[in-house]
Structures are given as structure tokens and as C-alpha cells.
Amino acid sequence: MKILVTGGLGFIGSHTIIELIKNNHEVIIADNLINSKIEVLDKLCQITGIKPAFYQIDVTDEEKLTEIFENNKIDGVIHFAGLKSVGESVSKPLEYYYNNLVSTMVLSKVCIKYGVQKFVFSSSATVYGDQPSPLREDMELKKTTNPYGETKAMSERILTDTVNANKDFAVSLLRYFNPVGAHESGLLGEDPNGIPNNLMPFVSKVAKGQLKKLSIFGDDYETVDGTGVRDYIHVVDLAKGHVKAIEKLDSGVNIYNLGTGRGTSVLELINAFMKVNAVDVPYEIVGRRPGDIATCYADADKAEKELNWKAELGIEEMVRDAWKFEQQNV
Ligand code: WQD
């Protein structure tokens, strides 16, 4: 199939493109480079031997997006493009609502106009809000704790209503847990601008000496060791889940958790990182981060049953690959 990947030069998008090409799909990339680097395009070519068509556009720009659909017979889209910092969304809500919702609406509208029936959406476990794990797709969603999470929940509703009104339009909503790790080549990985918000890239930069030490946000949660528990999933496993989702998508609204089904605490992850990579990660325990929840991990059965997909890589591979990328990514 010919697949349009929005946000395709980003962390998860770029890894998904590798898996799409490995499965003999043709890929077109639309990315505005607001949170990604053009150098990733050459790295994709280095890894796959193929340089996908690239359009530097903002997905909210209907005219520019229409040109892509005019010039390419597209069979499906995977929509990654969006702003994704929880913290930033609290201080810039309008930017987040506009960018994340308008891009989803414009892309859906153009898909329907051009008869593109398969739409895979990058959603997030954040839509579950604070409720007991393991989290299941049939659970009622609770209000999220930030505008970023609200944009994901609202986008899911927009896409669901659009499917209900257009019987030939089919959607897969993929709820990610905590994507980490990097491509085995060390050429691609999580490369956030500035000081990382997320745990793994922060740990990597402390191990490298770029940051002094890690602050662990609280050790008084009701968890195995008091620190936060999350369902970390290797980005390559996550990418493979997207290929399965778009290949299997044929009708209606399909919701899948993309997680491992296992929880790992902050201290367990840090200890694995130090042990596997034989490096030191200095840290100190500080107060809780506002908005954090104690525990979040997936019930991953539905994707296994319906997509024949299951995460295969464990914490050891995640910390190994994250560190290899950090060392090579000067
Ligand atoms: C993980 C754990 C922190 C940093 C967020 C978004 C979610 C998704 C993934 C997009 C928590 C602790 C972290 C640090 C720490 N993003 N931590 N010190 O908050 O689970 O999820 O990113 O879809 O939507 O909400 O990820 O990596 O920030 O935190 O102690 O410097 O690490 O308290 O327990 P989170 P995270």
C-alpha cells in the first residue's frame, strides 16, 4: 500500500516508516519539522536504502495537504503529527488544541474527499485518566489531567463520529503507553529538543554527563518501591504494531492498547540502565510531579488477539538501545 505518514520524521513516525518499508509498503512523509530534524530523512535512506517522498508542510494546511493527495494515490494514512509535551500543553493550551485537533480534522476531511479509507491515529494511554491498571480498551475514559491528553481524547471522539457518518471510512485508535528505546543501528532514537521531560531520554543524558543528575519525582507512591510504575514499550515493537494495524484495518472504529502489559518502576528502570550499560546514573528523590499518577500499564490482550501483535522486546533491550543511540547521537 501507499501510506502517508504525518510526523514521519519524528521519534515514533521514523521507526514506523522503517517497518512499513520492510513490509514492502510505499511511504510518503508530511512533516513541518517543528519537533523533528530533516537529517532523519537521510538516516531512513541509510537504514532502508529507500528515500521516501517528503513534503515539508503543516497538516493543518488544507491546501498543501490536498496537493499531496492530488499527486499521489494514497491507500492509507498514519497520523503522528502533533504537539506532545504534557507540561507544555498546560502553559500553551490554545496551541495544542488548535494544532492537534485541526490537523486531525483537516486530514480526515481530505481523506474522505479522496476516498482514502484507512486512518490510523496516534493516541495515548493518557486518555484513560487516573484509574486502576491494567487498562482495557472498553473502559470508560476519565478526564485527563492536561490539555495534551484532552486533545487525544477529543481526536478519538472526532474520528469516531466521522466513521459513524462515513461508512467507507475506517479508523484504528492506537493508545501508546511509554515508548522508549531506539533503532538497533543507533542512527535513530528519541532526540527531544532541550531538557527532556520524559524519563528515558533524561536518564540517557545523565549517563552521558550532559545532565548532572536525575530527580526522581516521588518515592511515596503505593508501588513496589514507592516510585512511579509505567508500561515501557520498545519503539520498534510500537512501530510494528502500526504496520499490523493498518494492514488489518477494514471498517469501523478499532481501539488498541500498544503496551507490554507489564509495569516497571522508575528505580527498576534506572537500575536496569546502569546494569546493562555498566554506567552510573546519579539521582536524588524529590517531590512528586503535579499530574503524575502512581501506576499505569496496559491490558495488551486485544491487540494480540485481533492484530496478531505482541511486544517482544524487554527492558534490557530498551535501555541498551536507548544508550547506544545516546552515545552515537552527538
Ligand atoms: C515516567 C515516570 C515520572 C522524568 C508521558 C505522557 C504520555 C506519553 C509518555 C505521549 C513517571 C518519572 C520522569 C524525570 C522522573 N507521552 N520521572 N523523573 O509521564 O508516564 O507519560 O510521556 O503520548 O502521554 O503523559 O512519562 O517519562 O515523563 O515519566 O522520576 O525526570 O518517570 O514521575 O513516574 P509519563 P515520563
Contact 179, 12 (CB under 8 A): yes
**So what's the pLDDT on residue 192?**
80
- 161 Cα to the center of ligand 1, angstroms: 30
pLDDT, tens only, 239-285: 999 999 999 999 999 999 999 999 999 999 999 999 999 999 999 99
302 pocket-lining for ligand 1 (C-beta < 6 Å): no
| 203 secondary structure, DSSP code | H
Contact 302, 259 (CB under 8 A): no
Rounded CA-CA distance 278/40 in Å is 29
Name the 3-class secondary structure at 224. Answer: coil
SS3 percent helix, strand, coil of the chain, rounded to 5, is 40, 20, 40
Amino acid 70: pLDDT: 98
pLDDT at 153: 97
Residue to mutate, 83, 85, 86, ligand 1, most ligand atoms under 8 Å from C-beta = 86
| Mutational test site, ligand 1, from 85, 174, 198, max ligand atoms within 8 Å of CB | 198
CA 5 / ligand 1 centre spacing (Å):
25
Element (H, E) at 107: helix 93-113
The residues that bridge with 119 in the sheet, in sequence order, are 77, 171
Residue 202 CA: nearest ligand 1 atom is 31
Give the pLDDT of residue 32. 97
Q: Which residues contact 110 (CB under 8 A, 6 or more apart)?
A: 62, 65, 66, 69, 116
Query: How do residues 288-317 score in pLDDT, each as one tens digit?
Result: 998 899 999 999 999 999 999 999 999 999
Find the 94 Cα to ligand 1 centroid distance in Å.
22
Question: Distance (Å, rounded) from C-alpha 107 to C-alpha 6?
Answer: 9
Whether residue 230 has its Cβ less than 6 Å from ligand 1 = yes
Q: By residue range, what is the domain housing residue 78?
A: 2-180+233-259+302-311
Active site residues: 148
CA of 61 to the centre of ligand 1 (A): 31
Ligand 1, pocket-test mutation among 292, 318, 319, most atoms within 8 A of CB:
292
**CATH classification of the domain holding 241:** 3.40.50.720
What is the position in ligand 1's atom list of the atom closest to the CA of 176? 23
**Residue 30 alpha carbon to ligand 1 centre in Å:** 27
What secondary structure, in 3-state letters, does 243-294 show?
HHHHHHCCCCEEEEEECCCCCEEHHHHHHHHHHHHCCCCCEEEECCCCCCCC
For residue 175, tell me if it sits in a domain: yes
Task: Report whether residue 178 contacts ligand 1, using a CB cutoff of 6 Å.
Answer: yes
Residue 66 lies in a domain: yes
Dihedral (Cα; 157, 158, 161, 167), 10-degree rounding: -120
CB within 8 Å of 264: residues ≥ 6 apart: 229, 230, 231, 232, 272, 315
* One-letter-per-residue 3-state SS of 123-186: EEHHHHCCCCCCECCCCCCCCCCCHHHHHHHHHHHHHHHHHHHCCCCEEEEEEECEEECECCCC
So what's the pLDDT on residue 49? 97
What integer pLDDT is reported at residue 290 of this predicted model? 84
CB of 157 closer than 8 Å to CB of 99: no
Q: Which ligand 1 atom is nearest residue 288's CA?
A: 33
Q: Is the CB of 322 under 6 A from ligand 1?
A: no
The reported pLDDT for the residue numbered 145 is: 83
> 47's torsion region: left (phi>0), alpha (psi -120 to 50) or beta?
alpha
Q: Please state, in angstroms and rounded to a whole number, the distance separating the CA atoms of residues 322 and 317.
A: 8
> So what's the pLDDT on residue 50?
97
Unique residue bearing C-alpha cell 544508550: 323
Regions of the chain with pLDDT less than 50: none
Whether 98 maps to a domain, the answer reads yes
The count of domains in the chain is: 1
* 174, β-bridge pairs: 122, 256
59 within some domain: yes
Residue type, 300: A
Give residue 291's pLDDT.
83
Is residue 286 in some structural domain? no
